[in-house]
Structure 1
Amino acid sequence: MKIVKESFLFAIFGILLSLFSSLISAATVVVSISGTESEIQENILAHLGTVDSEELKQSAVLQRRIGAAVEAALQALGYYHSKWSTQIQQDRITVQVDPGEPVIIVESDVRVLGGAQSIAEIRSLVAAAGLKVGTRLKHWEYDQFKRKLADLCAKYGFLDSRFEQSELLIDPETNQATVRLVAETGSRYRFGDVVITGSKMSDKLLGRLIPFSRDQLVENQLIIQLRRNLAKTGYFSHFQVNTHKQPDHRVDVLVGLQDNTSHYFDVGVGYSTDTGPRFKFGWRWPSVTSYGDALQSNFEVSEPKQTVAFAYRVPASDPINQSFDFDTSWQHKNVENTKTQVTSLGVSFNNRRKSNWQHRYSINLDYERYQVDESEIEDVFYLVPGARWTRSEIAEGIDPDSGYFIRFGIEGSHPAIGSDTTFAKGFISARWLTRLWTERWLMLVRGQLGAISADNINEVPISRRFFTGGDQTVRGYEFESIATRDDDGDLVGGRYLNVASAEMSYRFLTSWRAALFFDAGRAYSEQEEPLFTSVGPGIVWLSPVGQIRLDLAFPLKGDDAGNPRIHISMGGGL
């Protein structure tokens, strides 16, 4: 009976895989360019974009679109006498291109005058410009050089720079072009006075938000950074930054502020298979004092977990990137027959480095009560110093095509600092998202590793042990149901953690992705404990409020093997 059941499940999985492949192939039209070099081919494809299979039904319209794309792409690369032909088949378009003779630059005058001549980056830009006599004209090189030069002049504070000459003359009959680009940059400016009005925040705090000093050479990036600093604090409901040039080549910076006296409330309702219905309420007071202190609280309720937390933030010497946080929280969790209740008081120093690494050094005083099934309730009191390092980056948008997240940390406790137990714990978690063949294809890889050093794992508080399983780890199994169990089959948590996942997805419509995944993982104390695995398809809706996904996972190990499980979750691309 079990063999028949498993065969049936794998048959369903095979059918879904076949449908998935058919759907992908049906939506794809291959466009190939022949008769010319790769640069021209790539530019034509970039101008043409994606061709949908529905467009093949209107051949004349498609022919005109292809012709316009080919002509624009070739002229941008200096070909004004090109010829081409198009062959449209059922699932393939072939464009045969003869670019003809290119336009050649016969005269070029590219110069930078004034103080900007002393800037190495600007000298390198001029030296590397492709607008040289005897080379083929490329419109993008002309436009790009002008834009880069203007950007560099603004970046380095040459605020009076202008083009005295800016000409690109093309004679298509003779295939000849003349380039004249002469920039007068003038003198470089320095920062003058910074005048701040409209705020009751302390002068000391406001001064820490200014990323430059008087008489420092002007860089446009520093003005941008000032605006970012003001926005990131949350202290101001409105701000305006203007610059005013002075005759002595100084720039005064005028900052108008409006303090944010509002309290912010966040109310959310969600659902996932791990937690069931979930309610969340948050309150934030961004400026409790004129020194920039902030207060926030969070309240979250779901069937397996309830949390109440408060945090008081005190900005440090760099108020944007550094702070001392004073936290208190209470959490109750009930998974199967294992119950935990943790009350915590803590203080931490948080530091975001220029490398985008976030460092967190903390010490928490925890009181934990836990119970496994009907056993006696255990009470544990411990002080836990810890450190955590996090770095992440992800492309913008509702459907990002690249990104990564990595976090690792250590924590522990010892009776020498007043704790009831001794342990040391380390962990690392990583996720990596990348594009495959085209922007439609994505691969997401996830992994987790962890270990606890202790004489007796049963003396380590349950909340500090490892558990896995559920929507975000090993699909096909209930939330945190994979872990070491006692002789009665009750969850007690593991000493070690191994989790890995690979998922491939394809965007077949503007707001929809189809996925195939494989998950594996275990939280264990002995090597002979099994590794739990699952496979399955998924569907992702790229909704206006985030990605909403439904996965059908087929467990391959354990008591759940052969019983597919549906997972519903919400979140971002990672």
Structure 2
Amino acid sequence: DFHRRDQTLGFSVTALRQTLEAYTQNGEMARTTLTRRLSSDWTATAGAGYEHERILQQGRNYAYNLLSIPLSAHFNSTDLSSPLLDPTHGFKISIRAAPTLSSGASGQQWFVILQGSIATYFDVHRLFRSDPPGRTVLAARLLAGVAEGASQFSLPPDQRFYAGGSGTVRGYAYQSVGPQFPDGYPEGGTSMQAVNLELRQRIGTSWGAVLFADAGGVAAGSQSVYRVGVGMGVLYYTSIGPIRLDFAVPTRPLRNGGSFEVYIGLGQAF
């Protein structure tokens, strides 16, 4: 506890190197956060961060310095202590805003990254009373994000929005859904939306199955690309959460895209 109960002060210093479809990034980051539990369901966080990064995209090198003030609020009524466990009821809501001062390739500018998500879980037992509670669950999630104050290419590439992959639209490769350069690599956009639907079924004591459909896309100016993916998964339940194997296919494959995607993870998809 920092100065009062249910309040935590955090510091982090990170060096990052990653090579993605959209760009290659090297950077150093420092961040401090203050998190306060407001009630049994609500938590709020405020912070400040600095990042120096070098990004390679489309054969060009860019350097940026970013000062940000990330703010967020989270609501969780699933009654679970760990995000890896298996929610069967309730809601999860996250709201984030990050006012950011960027200096670099496009000069100096302010922009704000706004993001939100809401997920809900419904136990089918409440309707039919046939199976034991928690055996059959309908889950749904809505994601949205927008960048205000900057155009597509004045935003640093890592601050743009991308879709595709396990976190947005399964069946499509990571970052592949959205506007693309002529060579097929992702541009990144100024807004993103996605919807995820799942039917989760326990089988016996240790196994489970899931059917899912995802839809989403990215927009930038007059350009917008939206796609739908569908699939199924197998789960093995452990004491720390389900181990999950998903198989997904795109309903409209992208140019140079694959015909299916496979995902392995710990915990439910959302």
Would you say same fold, with TM above 0.5?
yes
Kept in 1: contact 2:22–2:187 (CA 8 A): no
Please name the residue that 2:180 is paired with.
485
1:425 and 2:113 equivalent? yes
Kept in 2: contact 1:372–1:492 (CA 8 A): no
Please name the residue that 1:12 is paired with.
none
Kept in 2: contact 1:422–1:460 (CA 8 A): no
CA distance in 2, matches of 1:343, 1:380: 11
Structure with the bigger percentage of strand: 2
Kept in 2: contact 1:360–1:388 (CA 8 A): yes
Correspondence 1:32-431 to 2 at 5 A? 315-318=1-4, 320-336=5-21, 338-374=23-59, 376-395=60-79, 399-414=86-101, 420-431=108-119
Correspondence 1:7-18 to 2 at 5 A? none
Please name the residue that 2:206 is paired with.
511
Structure 1 pair 395–352 and aligned structure 2 pair: CA distance change class (3 A) = closer
Residue 459 (structure 1) shift: 1.6
Please name the residue that 2:140 is paired with.
445
Write the letter of the residue equivalent to 2:67.
L
Single out whichever of 323-332 and 404-413 deviates more from structure 2. Answer: 323-332
CA distance in 2, matches of 1:332, 1:562: 26
TM-score normalised over the length of structure 1: 0.42
Runs of 4+ in 1 over 6 A off after TM superposition: none
Kept in 1: contact 2:176–2:185 (CA 8 A): no
Structure 1 pair 337–391 and aligned structure 2 pair: CA distance change class (3 A) = closer
CA distance in 2, matches of 1:340, 1:395: 38
Write the letter of the residue equivalent to 1:409.
R
Please name the residue that 2:128 is paired with.
none
Residue 572 (structure 1) shift: 4.4
Partner SS, residue 70 of structure 2: strand
Residue 355 (structure 1) shift: 4.8
Residue 527 (structure 1) shift: 4.8
Kept in 2: contact 1:343–1:367 (CA 8 A): yes
Please name the residue that 1:230 is paired with.
none
Partner SS, residue 333 of structure 1: strand
Kept in 2: contact 1:531–1:557 (CA 8 A): no
Residue 552 (structure 1) shift: 1.8
TM-score normalised over the length of structure 2: 0.85
1:565 and 2:249 equivalent? no
Structure 1 pair 537–347 and aligned structure 2 pair: CA distance change class (3 A) = closer
Please name the residue that 1:17 is paired with.
none
CA distance in 1, matches of 2:15, 2:65: 14
Partner SS, residue 77 of structure 2: strand
Residue 363 (structure 1) shift: 1.4
Structure with the bigger percentage of helix: 1
Kept in 1: contact 2:216–2:226 (CA 8 A): yes
Structure 1 pair 573–341 and aligned structure 2 pair: CA distance change class (3 A) = closer
Q: Which runs of 5+ in 1 are unaligned?
A: 1-314
CA distance in 2, matches of 1:497, 1:329: 27
Please name the residue that 1:499 is paired with.
194
Residue 526 (structure 1) shift: 3.7
Higher relative contact order (CA closer than 8 Å, sequence separation 6+): 2
Q: Work out the number of aligned pairs and report it.
A: 256
CA distance in 2, matches of 1:573, 1:552: 12
Please name the residue that 1:236 is paired with.
none
CA distance in 2, matches of 1:422, 1:402: 40
CA distance in 1, matches of 2:258, 2:172: 11
Residue 573 (structure 1) shift: 7.5
Residue 353 (structure 1) shift: 0.8
CA distance in 2, matches of 1:330, 1:483: 28
Residue 528 (structure 1) shift: 4.3
- Higher Cα radius of gyration: 1
CA distance in 1, matches of 2:197, 2:268: 16
Structure 1 pair 337–373 and aligned structure 2 pair: CA distance change class (3 A) = farther
CA distance in 2, matches of 1:330, 1:434: 41
Kept in 2: contact 1:469–1:478 (CA 8 A): yes
Kept in 1: contact 2:86–2:267 (CA 8 A): no
Residue 404 (structure 1) shift: 2.6
Residue 342 (structure 1) shift: 2.7
Determine which of 471, 474, 478 is the counterpart of 2:169: 474
Kept in 2: contact 1:328–1:346 (CA 8 A): yes
Please name the residue that 1:153 is paired with.
none
Determine which of 139, 149, 152 is the counterpart of 1:457: 152
Partner SS, residue 158 of structure 2: helix
Structure 1 pair 414–506 and aligned structure 2 pair: CA distance change class (3 A) = closer
Partner SS, residue 524 of structure 1: strand
CA distance in 1, matches of 2:163, 2:216: 7
Residue 458 (structure 1) shift: 1.1
Kept in 1: contact 2:244–2:268 (CA 8 A): no
Kept in 2: contact 1:427–1:449 (CA 8 A): yes
Kept in 2: contact 1:471–1:568 (CA 8 A): no
